[in-house]
Structure 1
Amino acid sequence: MRVCLFDIDGTLVNAGGAGQAAMEKALARAFGVTRPTEGISTAGRTDRAIIEDLMAFHGLPCDEATWKRVREFYLEGLPVELARLDGLALPGVNELLAELSGRDDVVLGLLTGNLVEGARRKLGHFGLDGHFDRDGQLFGGFGDHDRDRDDVARRGREHVRQELDWWEPNEVWVIGDTPLDVQCARAIGVRVLAVATGMFSRDEIAVGEPDQLLGDLGDTDRVVSILVE
């Protein structure tokens, strides 16, 4: 068996900036924030960390009640921004997921900084959610609780263990597009396939020494051979 845990933004889809736009509009709705946000890194980070940093940038309290309020507004606004902005599924993604999800020896999951409900909305918008549905639930690690992607990976590992009653690190792949995807795979001792379809170049990603590094996921046969055979 192989378990393949995919990042979303920059790996499966380019959402056209919908996530950050929805976050900033959530702050505007909750607190009347209008000042432009600057200097907040998003690539490879968790939604929890990004939203908390946005709140801190604007001098807003980061208590749990405020976080939940902003989270609610973000999730309400995300589908609107996905529809408004010009996003797309990245090259080869539809074909790859169709091939992998049709195999009995592969379990597909997610290892992403997205909130689990944000992940559901993004995947649904691009028609990819069916590949990751396990009895109505998404499977893997998500950015609801942790700032650090390594901690998300650890939660994902525990979810795999609980859901499958199985954990063999050499049979698990993380697929992502940032150095943090490589790093979080190493944090749980699994293999990583990196792709240069996001904000980082091949050279920048190569510094972390992923097990495999491709320009994109466009060659379905090659990607399947890496992950499965």
Structure 2
Amino acid sequence: MPPRLLLLWDVDHTLIETAGIGTTVFAEAFERATGCPMSAGMATAHGHTEPILLAETLALHGLPQEEGLFARFAEAQADGYARRAQELRAQGRILPGVAQVLRDLAADHRVMQTVLTGNTRAAAAIKLSAFGLDAYLDLGIGAYGDDDAHRPALVDIARRRAQQHHQTPYRPDDTVVIGDTPRDVQAAHAAGVRAVAVASGISSADDLAKAGASLVLETLEEVGGARLVDLLFAPRH
């Protein structure tokens, strides 16, 4: 029997933190792709997909979006993360409760879990593998910033991939986006699926509740994987 529940995890500030290494890698990739240093700073990253983040950072520097620029940036960024993987492990961290929840869920035959992230596919895979979290996630059916710059569109991309892989449909009520920003919640709502929010980033639990998350957690430590599945399978009124 195929899994009944499809969980789509955000990556940064939901599963892991890069301790500033992500900003360093972005700046290096920006300079390699454009030939200009990132002297005017970086656009606010929280909840943005990588193409939008790059576009806004280009605008800060008065630079045009040239054909092929994002591809050059993405390749340089992935190379930067690969070179800094050991540094990422040493300075970054898995957020509290994440490893146990992902392990619990990976052992539950009712659940399929992957990622829905603004990261490119390559960057997400490198970052997650640096912490060993890729063992619990089917990254092949995930949706990434290089699939579409519009975060809500990523939900249907992931659902289609999961449906093709398991040869079974995933209804909106069977699909849950889990993230740390109001943009994650808004993306879920725009796609007509459910949203769980974790106040592990800069957004407060109150902010996430106001955005309309059906379940808000302070951290994943407060709920194990089995308890989370029970909450998600509970009848909704």
Query: Under a length normalisation based on structure 2, what TM-score does the superposition of the two structures give?
Result: 0.87
Aligned counterpart in structure 1 of residue 190 of structure 2, from 184, 187, 190: 187
Q: Contact conserved, 1:21 with 1:81, CA < 8 A, in 2? A: no
1:61-100 CA distance string (max 9 Å, x none): 3123222111111110023345335210011111111110
Asked whether 1:131 is paired with 2:133, we answer: no
| Corresponding letter in the other structure for 1:72 | E
| Corresponding letter in the other structure for 2:144 | F
After TM superposition, the structure 1 = structure 2 runs for residues 1-229 of structure 1, keeping only pairs within 5 Å, are 1-38=4-41, 40-85=43-88, 86-133=91-138, 137-164=139-166, 165-218=168-221, 219-220=223-224, 221-228=226-233
- Distance in 2 between the 1:142 and 1:90 partners? 21
Distance 1:65 1:35, change over 3 A: closer
- Distance in 2 between the 1:81 and 1:17 partners? 12
Alpha-carbon RMSD across the aligned residues, in angstroms, is 1.9
Structure 2 unmatched ranges of 5 or more:
none
- Distance in 2 between the 1:154 and 1:63 partners? 28
- Distance in 2 between the 1:122 and 1:65 partners? 24
| Corresponding letter in the other structure for 1:152 | L
Q: Contact conserved, 1:12 with 1:93, CA < 8 A, in 2? A: yes
Shift of 1:35: 4.5
Shift of 1:217: 0.5
Distance 1:35 1:169, change over 3 A: closer
1:140-195 CA distance string (max 9 Å, x none): 21110422211222322322333233121112111110001101111121111101
User: Aligned to 1:55, what secondary structure does the other structure show?
Assistant: helix
User: Aligned to 1:26, what secondary structure does the other structure show?
Assistant: helix
| Corresponding letter in the other structure for 2:24 | A
Q: Percent identity?
A: 34
Distance 1:211 1:66, change over 3 A: same
| Corresponding letter in the other structure for 2:25 | A
> Which deviates further from its counterpart, 32-41 or 7-16?
32-41
- Distance in 1 between the 2:137 and 2:104 partners? 13
Say how many residue pairs are matched: 226
Structure 1 unmatched ranges of 5 or more:
none
- Distance in 2 between the 1:18 and 1:154 partners? 30
- Distance in 1 between the 2:6 and 2:94 partners? 21
- Distance in 2 between the 1:191 and 1:35 partners? 37
Return structure 1 stretches of 4+ with deviation > 4 angstroms: none
- Distance in 2 between the 1:168 and 1:142 partners? 20
